[in-house]
């Protein structure tokens, strides 16, 4: 009996002394991914990773690192948090202008030795290109109108074989699209427009879909499974843009022609014609 009591006491002591080691120095509290779509199909992304900092040493290290490191790879190694990464994967989309900004510690509790902080990762996703790279696929299927379709594979979240997108608990993803967007379709109702009801949806019998016709242009999905996730919208350019593009193209074509070999010959003929006209006109007046 005494042996069992000593063994039990030793086990409890081990748990007490090893308890701090069972907690990660840095751990995810929540994650917010904000994707702002531009008119050309490119996007500005800002990811906000809220985290818990455990222990005095971790807190001191974090403050030192804030002043010393400014690149993503180093912060990934230091924090060892899997959520600190591109959630628009560079494998499927071209990423540029990367910036990482660790925020100051806050809400520190000296008794339990924890603090909270936030790391902001921002970057730009280039527009859809001919190589099939981009966050949204652009399809100009009729004059002045482009349909943008989300490429689910470009999002770095778990996905099932059937196309379900799985957002972990505590994760929020927000899409903000241009104000001029029309025919907005999503397969899963965003949490921020769920209360708008059926009045915000309009059935299109030709396409057999319900488009969102409300006023919101920012859509939020929170940690959940989004079945066969799909998100599309269309942007129609104003008629004035088409007219201006026509004249700009015509002007470029004329300049290119005049600067080319045929343009030189044409200018020479015009010059000869002008000189001839002037000469015969003068001769006629003298006669």
Q: Give the 3-state secondary structure of 74-103.
A: HHHHHHCCCCCCCCECCCCCCEEEEEEEEC
Record the tokens describing residue 270, joined without a space.
Answer: 């015009």
Residue 132: predicted pLDDT: 82
What CATH number has the domain bearing residue 111? 2.60.40
Residue 108: predicted pLDDT: 95
| Average pLDDT for 16-43 | 79
Residue 82: predicted pLDDT: 95
pLDDT digits (tens, 9 = 90+) for 57-112: 999 999 999 999 999 999 999 999 999 999 999 888 999 999 999 999 999 999 99
Residue 215: predicted pLDDT: 95
Task: Give yes or no for a contact between 171 and 30, defined as CB atoms under 8 angstroms apart.
Answer: yes
DSSP 223-260: SSEETT--EEEEEE--HHHHHHHHHHHHHHHHHHHHHS
Please check whether residue 106 lies inside any domain of the structure. Answer: yes
Residue 253: predicted pLDDT: 56
Task: Report the alpha-carbon distance of residue 174 to residue 191 in Å, rounded.
Answer: 10
Average pLDDT, the chain: 84
More confident residue, 137 or 7: 137
Please check whether residue 270 lies inside any domain of the structure. Answer: no
**What is the separation of C-alpha 54 from the centre of its chain, rounded to a whole number of angstroms?**
31
Please check whether residue 271 lies inside any domain of the structure. Answer: no
Q: What percent of the chain has pLDDT over 90?
A: 65
3-state secondary structure of 5: helix
Residue 16: predicted pLDDT: 39
Task: List helix spans (H) across the chain.
Answer: 2-22, 56-68, 72-79, 239-259, 261-286
Residue 163: predicted pLDDT: 87
The set of long-range contacts for 15-18, using a CB threshold of 8 Å and a minimum separation of 24, is: none
* 286 φ/ψ sector (left φ>0, alpha ψ -120 to 50, else beta): alpha
Domain count of the fold of the chain: 1
Calculate ∠ Cα 143-147-148, nearest 5°.
145
Confidence tier at 284 by pLDDT (50, 70, 90): low
Please check whether residue 287 lies inside any domain of the structure. Answer: no
pLDDT digits (tens, 9 = 90+) for 30-66: 999 999 999 999 999 999 999 999 999 999 999 999 9
| Average pLDDT for 13-20 | 40
Nearest to 190 by CA among 156, 140, 159, 224: 224
Residue 1: predicted pLDDT: 52
Nearest to 121 by CA among 147, 107, 109, 103: 103
Residue 90: predicted pLDDT: 83
More confident residue, 250 or 12: 250
Residue 30: predicted pLDDT: 97
Residue 15: predicted pLDDT: 40
**What is the separation of C-alpha 287 from the centre of its chain, rounded to a whole number of angstroms?**
78
Domain residue limits at 90: 25-236
Residue 265: predicted pLDDT: 66
Q: Which of 51-65, 140-154, 246-260 has the lowest mean pLDDT?
A: 246-260
Residue 135: CB atoms within 10 Å: 26
Please check whether residue 241 lies inside any domain of the structure. Answer: no
Question: E strands along 151-215, which residues?
Answer: 158-159, 165-166, 171-176, 182-186, 201-204, 209-212
Helices 261-286 and 239-259: crossing angle in degrees, nearest 10, is: 80
Please check whether residue 190 lies inside any domain of the structure. Answer: yes
Please check whether residue 279 lies inside any domain of the structure. Answer: no
Whether residue 241 is predicted with pLDDT greater than 50 in this model: the reply is: no
Residue 216: predicted pLDDT: 97
Please check whether residue 113 lies inside any domain of the structure. Answer: yes
| Average pLDDT for 222-246 | 79
- The answer to whether the predicted template modeling score (pTM) of the entire model surpasses 0.95 is no
């Amino acid at each position: 009996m005494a042996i069992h009591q000593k063994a039990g006491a030793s086990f409890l002591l081990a748990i007490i002394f090893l308890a701090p080691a069972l907690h990660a120095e840095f751990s995810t509290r929540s994650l917010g991914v904000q994707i702002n779509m531009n008119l050309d199909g490119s996007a500005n992304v800002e990811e906000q990773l809220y985290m818990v900092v455990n222990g005095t040493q971790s807190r001191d290290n974090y403050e030192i690192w804030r002043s010393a490191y400014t690149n993503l790879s180093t912060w990934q190694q230091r924090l060892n948090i899997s959520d600190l990464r591109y959630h628009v994967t560079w494998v499927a989309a071209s990423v540029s202008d990367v910036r990482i900004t660790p925020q100051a510690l806050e809400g520190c509790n000296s008794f339990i030795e924890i603090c909270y902080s936030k790391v902001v990762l921002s970057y730009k996703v280039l527009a859809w290109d001919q190589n099939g790279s981009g966050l949204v696929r652009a399809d100009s299927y009729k004059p002045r109108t482009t349909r943008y379709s989300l490429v689910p594979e470009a999002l770095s979240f778990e996905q099932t074989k059937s196309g379900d997108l799985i957002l972990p608990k505590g994760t929020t993803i927000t899409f903000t699209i241009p104000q001029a967007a029309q025919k907005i379709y999503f397969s899963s109702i965003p949490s921020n427009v769920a209360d708008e009801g059926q009045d915000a949806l309009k059935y299109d019998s030709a396409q057999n879909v319900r488009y969102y016709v409300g006023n919101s242009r920012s859509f939020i999905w929170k940690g959940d499974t989004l079945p066969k996730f799909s998100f599309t919208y269309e942007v129609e350019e104003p008629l004035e843009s088409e007219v201006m593009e026509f004249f700009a193209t015509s002007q470029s074509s004329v300049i290119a022609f005049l600067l080319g070999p045929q343009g030189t010959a044409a200018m020479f003929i015009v010059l000869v014609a002008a000189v001839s006209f002037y000469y015969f006109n003068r001769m006629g007046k003298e006669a």
